[in-house]
């Protein structure tokens, strides 16, 4: 039998006094304080009294208050008082108020007949409630509740009473909200929304325990109240039901699984079975709409809290396995299984070389809310899709001269090499992606091998002919053509030589430098649009030859002493001081120093030009260690960041270049030869005999080959010496092509070097941009030689593999044609998002906003970023930047550009959420702001 009186309210002194004062019969039968009539009033109450035992009531009257938690205590207290001699006194008034939680049926009639009104009396709870809230009245809807709300409000009242209402009517909402906060152990000012309850279930143990300990009726009443539209919503009903029937901490992960089961995954036998098992956690059946909204609420919460998402995903994945919903959660935009499924879809699209499917699948990956945790993997997938696009351009080696070949490699092929290096750096754990990378890299290497051989033959012919460089930039002409105009402009020069930096690596650094520097074409070649330049290395492509040639202005072999001696004496300095600094000069002499004393002195000398050699890249190449991530940043190159900071502070022009490039080790083949002393070239013996060369070698002779004829390797995967991380010395275009980056600090308008022209357009090749435009393509079998597409006038794709899953994501993918169809793929009807973007970019208001941007932005990149936002509404900064083809380092800056573009007159069309990592687009405000039709 349950304990009698469970849940009874504790009576206050005011409540007892008011009750006594309202009893006329009691007043008539009670004498003055010193009277001779003793009485006992039994009041139903929690047997608790922490006040003074003597209570004053109705003016000068007094009563003693005592508690009786048991039947025996009632007998003892009542009989002791009634049978005591004398009429009573100030210390022992004649009236005893006995607080007990016993029932009438438990007491002997002999006691009841001697008590006031022969029974245990009940105090009007609503009067007490009105008193403790200092309310003028009670909302009738509150008193209509049938689940014991009055007793609950009195029982849950704080020690000092409920916060006063200053004689206002106590509304049902106010009373039940206050009660819910107390019963759930929430803060007094906590919002009673679904976010609060989800966090409560996850982070509080005492609160759910207190809720489960409530009476059944009170739990049901509070659950109904919290499920009302103006409170936490219907999903609160499901959450509290889970709290009653399962571990409360499962409520939030269950919400993520519920979103997959009731919202994202297509209906099927597995989904229906998992939904049925979910009822064991819920405790009862809920409508599909209620579960859909529950899942949506859970996703909305974790979307705004990346740390919470990371904490809850392991529990959600375990729960999915318990419910048999592992297939369903592959459709989740929040759970790891969903990210893996999207990555697998990218792999399937890459394997099929379907450009539309690649772009669609990649956008789906970038839109996943765990994308930030897989930046490296997604970046690698992005590079793979770029390579698919590059192969779809039907690449061929077309330059007629070495000058054209250098420009072509710098502007086109180096980007393909950069993308390929990202694939080689790490692969992927997802089998579909890993297999796709293997096949894609093999095809790219086949195409590149033909190009590399053609380049080597071209370079050998040009070198042997001894043709003058003419307009082509070379290491021996670099200082005269590029550095001299800086000296003439009366601006100081900082030349930074990153030893071993390739054009592919320079392209990556250039993206980061764009945040604080303005890039220029320093060659001043008339009739040609400004572009990023490159120059030809000296041969062999090693530091002793090419760097010395660069820093002395003449073809020769030398060392640091040669460079330090000849660099300052060059005529181009026109009498100004100039110095070159190497690795030892960068070492500070003291703990607080940044550089060596000579370099520090040169930096502070306003009349001095300087060159600094940085060896980080070349040092890494010498190690026999695989580069786990081919993802260079400015901070990865020792001393580069402080040098750039100093140059920007002093308004210096900066030239960043190299002495040669490099190829990296990827399962390279060692070519046997007895006389090689360098990894990539060997000297031709001076015996007059024709050197024997293999298919991987070419003979280089002529005035630009310092030290006489050499035999050099041209494939990227061949070497003479023991394995290292990378090599140089050969005639691969990545070794022979030296990138040239020319910069002035942002905002520089005076002392522009003559002939320097600012780069206004993006320097990436067109296929580098990952737009999402649907292409009309034809199907064609792959080439038997390369496994890539046949060269035809129209862009073709090979036969596509079967789709992995139907309806895996809510993004349409073009249907797959059969191998024998040979017909054009059907063009999909324009989507609402595409129509919205067409209207937006035709809007005069947007044109006006574009004109206000400080820099010209690529329209296609803007369109793709806005398309991603329109389709998802909420996306990480990095995903938005990736959609526009921007690197992660520029994500925050690009978000600022989009915000300036879309937000006019204080209207937040685009909002950066409080986590400072997520952008949220309001499509309704977008349409209203730019006058777009529905």
Tens digits of residue pLDDT in 295-342:
999 999 999 888 999 999 999 999 999 999 999 999 999 999 999 999
pLDDT at position 159: 76
The span from the CA of 848 to the CA of 409, in Å, is: 38
pLDDT at position 252: 95
184, 221, 238, 837 from 243: Cα distances, Å: 11, 15, 9, 45
524: pLDDT strictly greater than 80? no
pLDDT at position 582: 97
The span from the CA of 723 to the CA of 404, in Å, is: 32
Split at pLDDT 50, 70, 90, the class of 7 is low
CA-based R_g, the chain, Å:
41
Range of 51-55, 151-155, 876-880 with top mean pLDDT: 51-55
Contact 107, 74 (CB under 8 A): yes
Cite the beta strand spans of 746-784 per DSSP E.
757-758, 778-779
List of residues 6+ apart from 644 with CB closer than 8 A: 513, 516, 517, 634, 654
Q: What is the mean pLDDT of residues 186-194?
A: 91
823: pLDDT strictly greater than 60? no
The tens digit of pLDDT for each residue in 49-108 reads 988 999 998 878 899 999 999 999 999 999 999 999 888 888 889 999 999 999 999 999
List of residues 6+ apart from 336 with CB closer than 8 A: 313, 317, 370
The span from the CA of 328 to the CA of 278, in Å, is: 13
Phi, psi at residue 37, to the nearest 5°? Answer: -105, 120
Split at pLDDT 50, 70, 90, the class of 796 is very low
Best CA proximity match to 603, nearest among 560, 647, 573: 647
Length of the chain: 934
In 719-744, which positions are buried (b, 16+ CB within 10 angstroms) versus exposed (e)?
A: bbeeebbbbbbbbbbbbbbbbbbbbb
Q: Please name each of the domains of the chain with its CATH number.
A: 13-123 (no CATH), 185-328 (no CATH), 339-464 (no CATH), 477-663+734-758 (no CATH), 832-930 (1.10.10)
Place of tokens 């375990």: 318
Contact 695, 718 (CB under 8 A): no
Q: What is the mean pLDDT of the chain?
A: 86
Q: Strand pairing partners for 478?
A: none
The tens digit of pLDDT for each residue in 564-621 reads 999 999 999 999 999 999 999 999 988 888 899 999 999 999 999 999 999 999 998 8
Judged by average pLDDT, the poorest of 390-404, 534-548, 760-774, 786-800 is 786-800
pLDDT at position 495: 98
Contact 744, 517 (CB under 8 A): yes
The span from the CA of 457 to the CA of 733, in Å, is: 11
Contact 608, 492 (CB under 8 A): yes
The span from the CA of 820 to the CA of 526, in Å, is: 51
pLDDT at position 771: 62
809: pLDDT strictly greater than 70? no
Contact 364, 342 (CB under 8 A): yes
The span from the CA of 172 to the CA of 646, in Å, is: 67
């Amino acid at each position: 039998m349950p304990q009698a009186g469970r849940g009874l309210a504790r009576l206050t002194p005011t409540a007892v006094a008011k009750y006594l004062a309202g009893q006329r019969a009691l007043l008539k039968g009670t004498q003055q304080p010193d009277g001779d009539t003793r009485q006992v009033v039994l009041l139903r109450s929690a047997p608790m009294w922490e006040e003074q035992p003597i209570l004053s009531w109705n003016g000068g009257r007094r009563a003693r208050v005592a508690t009786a938690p048991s039947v025996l205590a009632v007998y003892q207290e009542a009989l002791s008082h009634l049978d005591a001699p004398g009429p009573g006194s100030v210390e022992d008034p004649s009236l005893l108020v006995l607080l007990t939680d016993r029932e009438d049926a438990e007491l002997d009639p002999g006691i009841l007949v001697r008590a006031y009104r022969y029974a245990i009396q009940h105090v009007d709870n609503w009067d007490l409630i009105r008193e403790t809230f200092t309310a003028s009245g009670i909302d009738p809807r509150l008193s209509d509740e049938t689940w014991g709300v009055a007793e609950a409000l009195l029982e849950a009242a704080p020690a000092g009473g409920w916060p006063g209402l200053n004689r206002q009517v106590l509304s049902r909402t106010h009373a039940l909200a206050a009660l819910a906060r107390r019963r759930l152990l929430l803060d007094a000012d906590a919002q009673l929304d679904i976010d609060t309850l989800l966090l409560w279930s996850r982070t509080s143990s005492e609160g759910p325990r207190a809720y489960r300990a409530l009476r059944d009726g009170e739990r049901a009443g509070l659950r109904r109240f919290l499920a009302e539209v103006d409170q936490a919503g219907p999903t609160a009903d499901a959450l509290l039901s889970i709290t009653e029937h399962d571990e409360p901490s499962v409520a939030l992960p269950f919400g993520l699984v519920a979103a997959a089961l009731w919202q994202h995954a297509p209906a099927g036998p597995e989904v229906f079975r998992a939904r049925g098992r979910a009822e064991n956690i819920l405790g009862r059946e809920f409508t599909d709409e209620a579960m859909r909204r529950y899942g949506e609420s859970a996703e909305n919460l974790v979307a705004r809290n990346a740390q919470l998402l990371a904490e809850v995903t392991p529990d959600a994945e375990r729960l999915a396995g318990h419910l048999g919903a592992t297939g369903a959660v592959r459709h989740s935009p929040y759970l790891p299984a969903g990210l893996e499924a999207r990555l697998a879809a990218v792999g399937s699209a890459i394997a099929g070389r379907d450009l539309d499917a690649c772009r669609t699948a990649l956008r789906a990956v970038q839109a996943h809310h765990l994308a930030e945790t897989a930046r490296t993997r997604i970046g690698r997938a992005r590079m793979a899709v770029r390579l698919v696009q590059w192969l779809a351009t039907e690449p061929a080696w077309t330059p007629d001269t070495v000058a054209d070949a250098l420009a072509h490699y710098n502007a086109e092929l180096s980007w393909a090499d950069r993308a390929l290096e990202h694939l080689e750096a790490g692969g992927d754990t997802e089998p579909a992606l890993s297999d796709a990378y293997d096949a894609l890299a093999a095809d790219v290497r086949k195409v590149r091998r033909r190009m590399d051989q053609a380049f080597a033959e071209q370079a050998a012919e040009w070198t042997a002919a001894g043709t003058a460089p003419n307009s082509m930039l070379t290491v021996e002409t670099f200082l005269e053509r590029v550095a001299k105009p800086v000296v003439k402009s009366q601006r100081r020069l900082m030349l930074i030589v990153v030893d071993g930096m390739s054009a592919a690596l320079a392209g990556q650094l250039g993206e980061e430098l764009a945040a604080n520097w303005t890039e220029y074409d320093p060659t001043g070649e008339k009739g040609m649009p400004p572009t990023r330049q490159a120059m030809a290395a000296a041969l062999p492509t090693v530091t002793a030859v090419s760097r010395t040639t660069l820093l002395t202005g003449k073809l020769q072999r030398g060392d640091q002493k040669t460079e330090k001696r000849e660099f300052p004496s060059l005529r181009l300095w026109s009498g100004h001081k100039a110095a070159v600094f190497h690795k030892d000069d960068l070492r500070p002499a003291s703990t607080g120093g940044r550089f060596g004393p000579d370099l520090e002195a040169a930096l502070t000398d306003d009349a001095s030009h300087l060159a600094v050699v940085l060896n980080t890249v070349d040092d890494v190449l010498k190690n026999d260690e695989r580069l786990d991530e081919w993802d260079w940043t400015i901070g990865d190159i020792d001393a580069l960041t402080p040098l750039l900071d100093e140059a920007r502070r002093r308004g210096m022009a900066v030239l960043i270049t190299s002495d040669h490039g490099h190829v990296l080790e990827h399962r390279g083949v060692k070519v046997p030869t007895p006389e090689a002393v360098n990894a990539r070239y060997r000297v031709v013996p001076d015996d007059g005999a024709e050197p024997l060369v293999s298919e991987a070698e070419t003979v280089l002779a002529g005035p630009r080959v310092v030290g006489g004829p050499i035999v050099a390797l041209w494939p990227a995967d061949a070497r003479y010496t023991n394995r290292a991380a990378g090599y140089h010395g050969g005639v691969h275009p990545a070794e022979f092509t030296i990138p040239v980056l020319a910069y002035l600090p942002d905002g520089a308008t005076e002392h522009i070097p003559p002939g320097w022209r600012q780069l206004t357009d993006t320097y990436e090749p067109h296929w580098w941009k990952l737009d999402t435009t649907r292409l009309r393509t034809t199907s064609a079998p792959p080439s038997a030689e390369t496994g890539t597409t046949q060269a035809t006038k129209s862009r073709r794709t090979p036969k596509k593999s079967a789709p992995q899953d139907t309806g895996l994501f809510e993004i349409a993918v073009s249907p797959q044609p059969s191998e024998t169809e040979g017909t054009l793929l059907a063009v999909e009807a324009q989507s609402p998002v595409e129509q919205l973007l067409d209207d937006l970019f035709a809007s005069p208001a947007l044109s006006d906003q574009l004109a206000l941007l400080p820099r010209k932005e690529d329209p296609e990149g803007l369109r793709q970023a806005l398309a991603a936002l329109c389709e998802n509404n909420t996306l990480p900064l990095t995903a938005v930047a990736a959609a526009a083809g921007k690197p992660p380092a520029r994500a925050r800056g690009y978000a600022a550009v989009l915000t300036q573009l879309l937000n006019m007159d204080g209207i937040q069309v685009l909002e950066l959420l409080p986590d400072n990592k997520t952008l949220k687009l309001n499509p309704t405000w977008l349409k209203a702001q730019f006058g777009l039709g529905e």
